[in-house]
DNA sequence: TCTGGGGTCCTAGGACCC
DNA sequence: TCTGGGGTCCTAGGACCC
């Protein structure tokens, strides 16, 4: 029962290139929030030795020498492109699991085994033609293998034109292929686990596939045991068509400049909490508690370091921005210490539950609750219509001295009429 | 000067109870 | 008073992912 994994090549870079085709064939990178480090690279940038997660300030010289074009990340654009991508894919299979912003599993059970490769090609061509994004397709009997087949397609190890179907390989071919790839490339095997595996002399994917299951279970966990099963074609990880409701909502940022005062920190916390509360209401959820944290810059080893964090319980689960901000500021005051240069702060909404499931009796003051709901609905409606952050709490401030840098951001081509691409 | 942000799941260990 | 085992629930931290 074959799964396909479709993954966009260098997704963020490819999104930028759709609107600036002259960048095709050129080295391009996209930077993280705050223009901190590199999170997406074109193949040409990879060929120049630009590493994933490399700090941008260390790469600027190389960039200048080689004409690397850098963009600040534009999540509004990427999210919109992602929605279009997922919508196209949904027409190719009865069941789809959206796995990340640029990856999706499809259930290809209904496709004849001998025509899977051609079907994969059709998916590729359709996405490229209608959206301009290059993708690779991996096809196999389990999700773990489909991820691996996708990797093989991307690296051009087997398959052709960006499609790899493991069903086309016989046992000997598969073993030889797996023996040539590091175990680190397996979905679910990260740095620590690969180190542990190495100590057991398990280096390649073939080593892991043929490893003793009981030993894997006892030395590691049931998770890795399932991975080994999946490498052997036994499907243990099912498709999840309906996204589970989120368990927590995090909003955090590094600051564009160091800040020291409680006022600036309070502004940032109020602002982040407002954003988190918006997401919470979009999900139709309420939070039972909120965690607040602040960091100094760990990279500045000679500067005094401090991290503070705390969790504030709400009187009752809430989705009201003002209540959440009050709680967050209370938490911040507990953990704030003067005399430090702060680099980052953040909030986490926790204990999320569906608003509908909260018993009416919990809302002891119905009147107050209705007022709050109306206020939040209005707030969200205005911000939706007029743009993010049009109406905010005074506590979130206007100066935003802590705001992140994003000096190289592209326009919101697809979501803002005033930023449409102009063809000259 | 300058080093991302947002998630999930599992496990171990402590608190508490019988 | 001490001793013991077993169960549940919660939380913190680790590991992983994109």
pLDDT value of residue A360: 56
Judged on CB neighbours under 10 Å (0-12, 13-18, 19+), A218 is exposed
Q: How far is the CA of A249 from the C1' of C7 (A)?
A: 32
Model pLDDT for residues A148-172, shown as the tens digit of each residue = 999 999 999 998 899 999 999 999 9
Listed in sequence order, the DSSP H helices in A307-404 are 321-335, 366-386
Whether any strand C atom is under 7 angstroms from the Cβ of A97: the reply reads: no
Place of tokens 């009187």: A315
| CA of A217, C1' of C4: distance in angstroms | 30
Q: Are strands A163-165 and A135-140 parallel, antiparallel or unpaired?
A: parallel
The single-letter DSSP state of residue A204 is B
Å: A309 CA to C13 C1': 15
pLDDT at residue A37 greater than cutoff 80 = yes
Reported as a single tens digit per residue, the pLDDT across A91-131 is 999 999 999 999 999 999 999 999 999 999 999 999 999 99
A250 touches strand C (CB under 7 A): no
Q: Is the dihedral of CA A9, A10, A11, A16 positive or negative?
A: negative
Q: If you measure CA to C1', which residue is closest to nucleotide C17?
A: A188
A276 close to A249: Cβ distance less than 8 angstroms: yes
Cα A377–A356–A384 angle (5° rounding)?
A: 25
A349 CA, C5 C1': separation in Å?
39
Evaluate if the CB of A190 falls below 7 Å from strand C. Answer: yes
Cα–Cα distances in angstroms (integers) from residue A238 to residues A91, A169, A189, in the given order: 20, 23, 19
Q: Cβ distance A167 to A140 under 8 Å?
A: yes
Judge if the beta carbon of A247 is closer than 7 A to nucleic acid strand B: yes
Determine if strand C comes within 7 Å of the CB of A103.
yes
Q: Which of A156, A138, A220, A218 is nearest to A183 (CA)?
A: A220
In 3-state terms chain A splits into helix, strand, coil percentages (rounded to 5) of 45, 20, 35
Q: Strand C: which nucleotides have any atom within 7 A of a protein Cβ?
A: 12, 14-18
Its pTM stands at 0.92
Given a contact cutoff of 8 angstroms between Cβ atoms, the answer to whether A397 and A267 are in contact is yes
Q: Which helix (H) or strand (E) holds A58?
A: helix A56-66
Asked if strand B contacts A256 at the CB level, meaning under 7 A, the answer is: no
Which tens digit of pLDDT belongs to each residue from A137-148?
A: 999 999 999 999
A379-397: per-residue pLDDT in tens?
888 887 777 777 777 777 7
């Amino acid at each position: 029962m074959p799964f396909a994994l479709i993954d966009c090549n260098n997704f963020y870079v490819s999104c930028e290139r759709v609107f600036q085709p002259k960048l095709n064939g050129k080295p391009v990178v996209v930077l993280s929030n705050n223009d901190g480090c590199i999170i997406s690279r074109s193949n040409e940038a990879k060929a120049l030795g630009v590493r994933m997660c490399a700090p941008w300030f260390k790469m600027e010289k190389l960039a200048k020498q080689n004409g690397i074009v850098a963009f600040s990340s534009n999540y509004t654009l990427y999210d919109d492109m992602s929605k279009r991508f997922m919508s196209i894919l949904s027409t190719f299979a009865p069941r789809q699991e959206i796995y990340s912003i640029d990856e999706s599993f499809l259930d290809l059970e209904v496709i004849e085994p001998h025509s899977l490769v051609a079907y994969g090609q059709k998916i590729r061509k359709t996405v490229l033609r209608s959206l301009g994004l290059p993708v690779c397709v991996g096809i196999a009997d389990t999700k773990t293998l489909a991820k691996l087949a996708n990797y093989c397609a991307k690296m051009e190890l087997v398959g052709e034109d960006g499609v790899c179907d493991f069903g086309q390989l016989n046992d000997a071919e598969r073993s030889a292929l797996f023996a040539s790839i590091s175990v680190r490339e397996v979905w679910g095997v990260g740095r620590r686990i690969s180190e542990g595996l190495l100590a057991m002399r398990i280096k390649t994917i073939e080593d892991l596939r043929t490893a003793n299951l009981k030993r894997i279970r006892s030395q590691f966990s049931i998770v890795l045991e399932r991975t080994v099963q999946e490498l052997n074609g036994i499907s243990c990880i099912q498709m999840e068509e309906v996204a589970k409701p989120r368990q927590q909502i995090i909003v955090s940022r590094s600051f564009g400049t160091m800040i020291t005062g409680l006022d600036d920190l309070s502004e940032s916390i109020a602002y982040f909490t407002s954003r988190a509360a918006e997401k919470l209401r979009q999900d139709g959820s309420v939070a039972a508690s909120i965690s607040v944290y602040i960091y100094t810059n760990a990279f500045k080893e000679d500067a005094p370091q401090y991290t503070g964090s705390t969790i504030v319980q709400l009187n009752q689960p809430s989705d009201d921005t003002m209540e959440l901000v009050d709680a967050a500021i209370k938490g911040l005051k507990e953990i704030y210490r003067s005399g430090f240069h702060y680099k980052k702060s953040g909030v986490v909404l926790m204990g999320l539950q569906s608003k509908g499931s909260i018993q009416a009796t919990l809302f002891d003051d119905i009147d107050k609750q209705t007022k709050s709901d109306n206020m939040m609905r209005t707030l969200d409606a205005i911000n939706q219509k007029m743009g993010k952050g049009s109406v905010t709490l005074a506590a979130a401030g206007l100066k935003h001295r802590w705001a992140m840098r994003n000096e190289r951001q592209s326009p919101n081509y697809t979501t803002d009429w005033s930023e449409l691409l102009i063809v000259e």
